[in-house]
Amino acid sequence: MDFIKTFILGIVEGISEWLPISSTGHMILVNEFMNTKTGFLTEDLFLYGIQLGAILAIVTLYFHKLNPFAPSKSKEERLDTWQMWFKVAVACVPAAVLGLLLNDFMENFENPWVISATLILYGIAFLFIERKEKTAGISSMKDMTYKTAIYIGLFQVLSIIPGTSRSGATILGAMLLGCSREISAEFSFFLAIPVMVGVSLLKLVTNDYVMTGTEWGLLALGMVVAYVVSMAAVKFLVDYVKRHDFKVFGWYRIVLGLIVILYFSIF
């Protein structure tokens, strides 16, 4: 039964990590609906561990773009890649500082009521920002300034509130700052690499939970499923935002938030 639940959680992680709908919120809610209230599948060691599988999908899909040492790149293209990484590094500073300071405190708010509230709030925010057509001033990574990058990083800090969505906060912030939908999504993907790897490794290193052989198998399965599903989810989102806006995700968040409130009010 745990392997079936792991497979489901891997799918949920792979989809919700990259779409602006809150992976942590979905993982908590799915565990609740599967009546998984205790055990390895509720441990940070598992929930953050399988995120590494999702991150590997980004590295795989964007390896050439992320690699400043690619032989096929010109000197100018390599410089552009390094500058992109510097912008990512700058944007990670707020999360590295404030995230570490507030992480343990914010864990106290991992409950259905906070998750439903943030789902609805950011859903409304997406509908608000997409209410009318606008011309994006930043349509490439070269156009993005370091000032814009660090502002996006400040939006990323909001994701420590359960149910917010790291990708949701960064995409929303980037769009508010004048980035196109495509660049907002792409920069959000790249920001996830150092942030999620750092958080996942921190949870793995500082956790005193002793894993059994079966639990290692569950973690490996979750990572593989999250990796495969993430590949599909990222490709879907990149293709989707080329032709559509984010309103559908805003409505999804609002409806899900209301369902969560209704469910936990009854049960």
φ, ψ (nearest 5 deg) of residue 207: -80, 135
C-alpha distances out from residue 10 to 15, 113, 163, 198, 230, Å = 9, 24, 18, 20, 9
Any idea what DSSP says for residue 212?
-
CB 231 within 8 A of CB 15: no
pLDDT (tens, 9 = 90+) of the chain, 267 residues, equals 889 999 999 999 999 999 998 887 788 788 778 877 778 888 878 888 898 999 999 999 999 999 999 999 999 999 999 999 999 999 999 988 887 787 677 777 778 888 899 999 999 999 998 887 666 789 899 999 999 999 999 999 888 888 888 899 999 999 999 999 999 999 999 999 998 888 777 777 777 778 899 999 999 999 999 999 999 999 999 999 888 889 999 999 999 999 889 888 887
pTM flag (> 0.75): yes
Buried b / exposed e along 113-139 (16+ C-beta atoms within 10 A): ebbbbbbbebbebbbebbeeeeebebe
Measure the CA angle with vertex 258, ends 3 and 245; round to 5°: 85
Q: Are 88 and 194 in contact (CB under 8 A)?
A: yes
- Give the pLDDT score at 33: 82
Contact criterion met (CB below 8 Å) for 209 and 43: yes
Angle between helices 213-241 and 2-16 (to 10 degrees): 30
> 57: Cβ–Cβ under 8 A, 6 or more apart, which residues?
14, 226, 227, 228, 230, 231, 234
* Contact yes or no for 36/5 (Cβ under 8 A): yes
Q: Which segments within 41-175 are labelled E, that is strand?
A: none
Q: For residue 68, what pLDDT is reported? A: 94
The predicted pLDDT at position 265 comes to 87
| pLDDT of res. 134 | 65
Q: How many CB atoms lie within 10 A of CB 72?
A: 7
Q: Count of CB atoms within 10 A of residue 108's CB?
A: 9
Q: Where are the beta strands (DSSP E) in the chain?
A: none
Q: What is the pLDDT of residue 150?
A: 95
Q: Alpha-carbon distance 188 to 20, whole Å?
A: 10
CA-to-CA separations, 189 to 67, 70, 72, 106, 213, in angstroms, rounded: 15, 20, 23, 23, 32
Contacts of 23 (CB under 8 A, 6+ apart): 12, 13, 16, 17, 51, 165, 166
The pLDDT score that the predictor gives to residue 133 is 61
Classify the phi-psi angles of 35: left when phi > 0, otherwise alpha if psi is within -120 to 50, otherwise beta: left
